[in-house]
């Protein structure tokens, strides 16, 4: 039997295994932390996000969108040498994406590159200090930046919207544990098993004792599974829990959960223990999507309720960016696809929809920003706030009635 029940939680080491035939990459909080550290004193980070969904590619091929992004970025680079380096890197990465890094299965691409050395003679040759790419299960907002640090807002938006979900797959003697996150499933390298040999069926007067013994073993196994759920779930930060298995195992295990974990349970499903990662993912996906839709609805209803009470909530872009400048936003709500231009202060980074070239807060110079909604999202993350991108059609109609953007406030 596994020793996790007696293993101190602080010594529990979690790692994941995953292999997805759809070609997505599994991006975790640890991945984000590594990307945050990408910074070289004299170098620039090339950050690229592309929406690669079939419908978007049909509407506007990625190459056209890429060229437009690169042209806009180039216009913002004042230093001649940096602009020359950018031109070569942008050209090289376009060819790499075209020939090597595009996957039709993925709905989005994220790429980060830091050039070490560039040869400007003849055919340009580039050596990269860092070259990292991820194929995303969800489409990001098209973004291209050339800056001192990696641009992480599109990834952070996806991760903030999709809470980690624990998935348990069990039968009468074994248990497997998975993480479902960002449309992906990966398996923890920890499993539970009951190594008590099953007795042969008793007859006569022994039959009752045999059935009782089976019931006791089943109960013991379920309690061990609960122990795994509690320890792994706490350390991995599971927001929700889904349970799969054969026969009555999912329902019986659900009944053994303490209230804290029953409240996190979003459903059960039938699946054999030997199911592969894709089968686990596809079984858990509709449960998670329903839970996310419900969470979106509850957040929206809470916001509208606070607006009606005229307390700790704002709506509309100008009121929202004012609250952001004051550090008051707990949860930012924005309709999917909503964008708006505006201005950002170069000194205090306050945002405004006004055309004033002078910041109303500090008197600093403001510059035009093509999408202050996206900039606001970045700043909310920087203030440890949450972001809810509203996608459900019924909820989008409500968002439109309130200016497509708003916030629940801390104070």
Q: How far is CA 324 from CA 97, 157, 409, in A?
A: 37, 17, 9
3-state secondary structure of 167: strand
* 163 compared with 214, residue with greater pLDDT: 163
CB 133 within 8 A of CB 66: no
Contact of 128 with 116, CB cutoff 8 Å: yes
Q: Is the pLDDT of residue 28 over 80?
A: no
C-alpha to C-alpha distance for 295 and 163, rounded to whole angstroms: 10
pLDDT single digits (tens) 221-253? 999 999 999 999 998 899 999 999 998 999 999
Per-residue pLDDT at 145 exceeds 70: yes
Of the pLDDT bands very low, low, confident and very high (cuts 50, 70, 90), residue 27 is confident
Q: For the chain, list the domains and their CATH numbers.
A: 9-19+161-292 (3.30.420.60), 39-149 (3.30.960), 312-409 (3.30.1330.30)
* pLDDT at site 2: 42
pLDDT tens-digit readout, 327-367: 999 999 999 889 899 999 999 999 999 999 999 999 999 99
Confidence of residue 7 (pLDDT cuts 50, 70, 90): very low
Smallest Cα–Cα separation from 77: which of 128, 144, 146, 126? Answer: 146
Model pLDDT, residue 172: 87
Higher-scoring residue by pLDDT: 370, 338: 338
């Amino acid at each position: 039997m596994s020793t996790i029940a007696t293993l101190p939680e602080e010594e529990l080491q979690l790692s994941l295994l995953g292999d997805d035939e759809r070609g997505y990459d599994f991006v975790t909080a640890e991945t984000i932390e590594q990307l945050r550290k990408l910074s070289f004193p004299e170098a620039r980070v090339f950050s690229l996000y592309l929406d690669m969904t079939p419908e978007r590619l049909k509407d506007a091929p990625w190459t056209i969108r890429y060229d437009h992004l690169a042209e806009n970025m180039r216009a913002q680079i004042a230093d001649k040498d940096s602009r020359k380096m950018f031109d070569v890197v942008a050209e090289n990465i376009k060819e790499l994406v075209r020939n090597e890094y595009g996957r039709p299965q993925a709905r989005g691409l994220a790429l980060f590159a830091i050039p070490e050395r560039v040869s400007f003679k003849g055919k340009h040759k580039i050596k990269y200090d860092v070259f990292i790419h991820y194929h995303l299960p969800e489409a990001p907002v098209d973004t291209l930046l050339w800056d001192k640090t990696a641009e992480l807002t599109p990834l952070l938006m996806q991760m903030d919207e999709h809470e980690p979900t624990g998935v348990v797959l069990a039968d009468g003697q074994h248990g497997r544990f998975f993480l479902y996150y960002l449309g992906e499933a990966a398996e923890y390298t920890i499993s539970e098993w009951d190594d008590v040999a099953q007795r042969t069926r008793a007859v006569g007067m022994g039959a009752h004792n045999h059935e009782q013994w089976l019931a006791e073993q089943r109960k013991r196994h379920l309690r061990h599974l609960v122990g795994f759920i509690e320890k792994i779930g706490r350390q991995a930060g599971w927001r929700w829990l889904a349970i799969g298995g054969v026969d009555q195992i999912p329902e019986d295990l659900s009944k053994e959960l303490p209230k804290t974990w029953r409240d996190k349970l979003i459903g059960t499903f039938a699946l054999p223990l030997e199911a592969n990662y894709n089968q686990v993912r596809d079984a858990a996906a509709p449960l998670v999507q329903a839970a996310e839709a419900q969470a979106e609805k509850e957040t929206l209803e809470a916001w509208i309720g606070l607006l009606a009470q005229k307390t700790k909530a704002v709506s509309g872009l100008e009121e929202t960016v004012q609250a952001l400048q004051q550090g008051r936003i707990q949860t930012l709500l924005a309709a999917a696809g909503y964008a708006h231009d505006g201005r950002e202060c170069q000194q205090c980074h306050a945002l405004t929809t006004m055309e004033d070239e002078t910041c109303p807060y500090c008197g600093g110079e403001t510059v035009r920003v093509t999408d202050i909604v996206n900039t606001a999202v970045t700043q909310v993350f920087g203030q440890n706030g949450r972001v809810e991108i509203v996608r459900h059609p019924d909820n989008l109609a409500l968002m439109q009635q309130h200016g497509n953007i708003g916030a629940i406030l801390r104070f």
